Chains A and B, each alone.
Chain A
Amino acid sequence: MTCEITSRPLYLAGVERHLGDPGSGAVVLFVGRVRRETDRGRRITALDYETDRAFVLQQLGDLERQAIQRFAVRRVYVIHRVGRIRVGAASVIIAVAAAHRATAFRAARFLIEKLKREVPIWKANRWARSPAARRRRTPPPPPGRRSPG
């Protein structure tokens, strides 16, 4: 059982070393990524994640213990990134190793749903400036010169 909070990019390459267990016939990996989204013409460029560092590992650890007891899975690994995460990059990886695939899938689903509700992590949208806002910030052309068009 391992859980981590990091401000560094997440890669699947490092995950497998947390799951080494010859008794596990199934490994399920869940990767949560920052999704491209628009709202009334505005576009999200990134999400800013924050956490209560003094409390978050305790909560993640509790969650992992619950998953192990409830589903009898053999290994659980959860890592969540905080700070600014750009669209397309991973924010969370959940990995579950179990004897059989059914329990591995169920436990991974349980972990991500519970994490969203019970682990002190928050995100805030970072919006791209709208074309109108960009125009407002564009300085006027110098005197005596015509703007193109």
Chain B
Amino acid sequence: MKSSVRLLFFATAREAVGAAAIDREVPARGAILQALLSSVVEEHPRLEPVLKVSRVVRNGRYVSGTRTRVRPGDEVAIHPPYSGG
């Protein structure tokens, strides 16, 4: 049974963190996404400005707002501004 959330970092977010993915333990009842991301920013301060302009995707859907809750087994992707084409 999974007890962690997988955080995925793309492009400049990956460069800021130095990893494409990080697993974070969360309680079975879940955790507030904002708090989880703040703890990552504490360890990787270069992520902060990137995070401010990024979109956040939880399990294949964009999320917004600071009260979004994540649960064990969730996947959260940090998407800096897109630049395809």
A residues in contact (CB < 8 Å) with B: 32, 49-52, 54-55, 58, 80, 91-92, 112, 115-124
Contacts and interface: CB of A to CB of B under 8 A. Distances in A.
A58 B75 CA distance: 16
Contact of B85 (A50, A92, A120): A92
B85 A32 contact: yes
Interface string B42-85: 00000000000000010010000000000000010101101111
B84 A49 contact: yes
Given A54-B60, A55-B57, A122 B10 contact: yes
B60 to A, nearest CB: 6
A117 B11 contact: no
A124 B79 CA distance: 14
B85 A52 contact: no
B17 interface: no
Nearest to A94: B85
B77 A121 contact: no
